[in-house]
Amino acid sequence: MDDKAMLTRLRAARVVPVVRMRSTANAARAVGWLRATGLGVFEITMTVPGAVDLIAQLARDPALLVGAGTVPDAAAARACLAAGARFIVAPWVDAALAAPCREAGAALMLGALTPTEVRAALAAGADVVKIFPASSAGGPAHIRALASVFPDVAFCPTGGIAPGQVADYLAAGAAFVGIGGALVDEKAAAAGDQAAITAAARAVMA
């Protein structure tokens, strides 16, 4: 699967759960519950302890599309790609991440907020521009404004997005949406509250 095919799959998924937890066990548990609801794309952030090992574990399942988030540098990107990550995400612009992604045939998402930053992300090799933090920057209205200037850019808003807001972001011009704590809730995972995480996933998929 090349980066264009991955972009097609990401668009079709509409939502990418962003797994950012302080416990590897809780992260794996939450992914399992979300997968059971039908979600098949996951971003494992590098802030999860043992993130590379978790990526490798999940990537062994051909039904899943697994990426790495908050990737700090090219060395970390290469480690994640070697483990099976198919997309690399950073909430900033770092041109050094492009080469490892191109070599691996993986997609690259770089972060931006303003039109100038969007242009910088594209120039740095981004296949997708991650708009972060989306909710505090104006929500769907901000995405709509950016999409009017960059109609051919794939935007992935992330940050503070609730499950019930997905449709609004997609209607505003987002290619797909990243959702973290509102979907992959660490307290619910730690408490074994599968029902809460399943309910959030169903709200997203609705």
Average pLDDT for runs of 10 along the chain of length 206: 82 96 96 95 97 98 96 98 98 98 96 98 98 96 98 97 95 98 94 96 90
Calculate the alpha carbon distances from 134 to 27, 31, 119, 158, 194 in Å.
Answer: 23, 23, 17, 5, 27
Q: Quote the CA–CA distance of 106 and 101 in Å, as a whole number.
A: 5
Check residue 1 and give its pLDDT: 65
CA atoms within 13 A of residue 111's CA, in its CB half-sphere = 14
Q: Which of 175, 167, 125, 169 is nearest to 150 (CA)?
A: 175
pTM over 0.85: yes
Residue 146 belongs to domain spanning: 3-205
CA atoms within 13 A of residue 78's CA, in its CB half-sphere = 7
Annotation marks residue 43 as catalytic: yes
| SS3 assignment, position 161 | coil
The domain total for the chain is 1
Annotation marks residue 103 as catalytic: no
Selecting among 4, 130, 186, 187, the annotated active-site residue is 130
Q: Where are the alpha helices (DSSP H) in 93-139?
A: 98-104, 115-123
Q: Which amino acid belongs to residue 21?
A: M
Over the chain, what is the mean pLDDT? 96
Give the domain CATH number at 163.
3.20.20.70
Reported as type and span, the H/E element at residue 27 is: helix 24-36
Check residue 206 and give its pLDDT: 82
Tokens 């509409």 correspond to 14
Q: Quote the CA–CA distance of 97 and 102 in Å, as a whole number.
A: 9
Selecting among 43, 117, 186, 187, the annotated active-site residue is 43
Q: Which amino acid belongs to residue 52?
A: V
